[in-house]
Structure 1
C-alpha cells in the first residue's frame, strides 16, 4: 500500500490548524492571513475644456495622492501623464489608476501639476506658471463604480490668466464620473 506524500497533507493540515481558533480571530487577523483584500481598480483622468482660443496647452502631472481617511491608497501613475496637450478637448488623458479595497467607501484625491507648462495661442507662445496647479476633491465608491473612472475637467478659459508675458494657472475644474 502506498502512503500519500506529506505535501498532499500539508494544505489540509494548515486549514485545520487555521480554523481551530477561528472563533477568537478578528477580521484584521483574517485579512493578514489571506494577504491583501480584493482590490478594485479605478482610472483617474484629466481633460481640457473651453480651449477654443488655444492651439496648445501643455501640462504635466507632478504628483497624485489618493487617501481614504488619511491612509494612502495605492496609485500607479501613467507615464504618458508627464506631457499632456489639454487643448485636445476630445481626449481625457490617463493620469493613472488607483486601487481600492472593497471596504473603502470614500477617497480624497489631490493632483499636483508640474510647476511649468507651455501654451500657444494665435501668434503668441509662452510658459504657464502652474505652481498653484493643485486640484483636490473627494468622491465615493458609488460614484466611481458608475464607469470605473473619474475625470477632472480643467476649464482652460477660466483657469489661465495673463501674467508677466506668460500665463498663470489657477485651476477651475468640474468632476465627472
Structure 2
C-alpha cells in the first residue's frame, strides 16, 4: 500500500522521535562510563534545633560545608535557604544542601561551618550570637546514609548557647541522626 506523501512524512517523523527517545534512556549512562565518571548517589545534609524552649527566634546561617573522602572534595550543592535558618522551629530540619557520592565511596568526612554571627530573641531580650566556634565535624558511612538518603545534625540549643558579653556564644553540642 502506498501512503500519501504527508502520511509518509508523519510516519517518518514519529519513527525518528521514538528512536531518539529510546536512545536517550541509555546515552547519559553510556557517556558517563565512556568518560570514566562513576554513577553518583545524592544525599542531603540537614540541621534541626533541639531544646529551644526559651527562644522565640534563633537565627543561624550556614557558612561553608566541606564533604571529603580521604581529603578529596566531594561535590556539594548548598541550599540558598541555609543562609538564614530559624532553629527555634524544632519541628523542621533545615536543608543545608546535597552531596553526590560515587558508588565506590564507603564513607565521607563532613565539616559544617556556621556563619560567625547569629541572632536570638527570647522573652524580654534579644541579641547576637557569637558563632565563630560553630564548626561541626563527623564521619558518615554510606550504609548509614542509605537508610533515609540524608543525615540530620541535631543542635542542642540549651547545651550549646552560653551567656557572653553583649549576647551569647555558641559552642555546638550535637548528635547525628540518619
TM class, shorter-length: 0.7 to 0.9
Unaligned segments of structure 2, at least 5 residues: 1-31
Deviation at 1:165, TM superposition (A): 2.2
The answer for the alignment partner of 1:114 in structure 2 is 115
Q: Does 1:168 align with 2:169?
A: yes
Matched position secondary structure for 1:131: coil
CA RMSD of aligned residues (A): 1.4
Unaligned segments of structure 1, at least 5 residues: 1-30
Deviation at 1:133, TM superposition (A): 0.2
Q: Which runs of 4+ in 1 moved over 2 A?
A: 31-35
TM-score by length of structure 1 reads 0.81
Matched position secondary structure for 2:119: strand
Deviation at 1:74, TM superposition (A): 0.2
Say how many residue pairs are matched: 148
TM-score by length of structure 2 reads 0.81
Give me the whole-angstrom Cα distance separating, in 2, the residues matched to 1:82 and 1:36. Answer: 31
Give me the whole-angstrom Cα distance separating, in 2, the residues matched to 1:32 and 1:132. Answer: 43
Give me the whole-angstrom Cα distance separating, in 1, the residues matched to 2:53 and 2:102. Answer: 40
Deviation at 1:75, TM superposition (A): 0.1
The answer for the alignment partner of 2:56 in structure 1 is 55
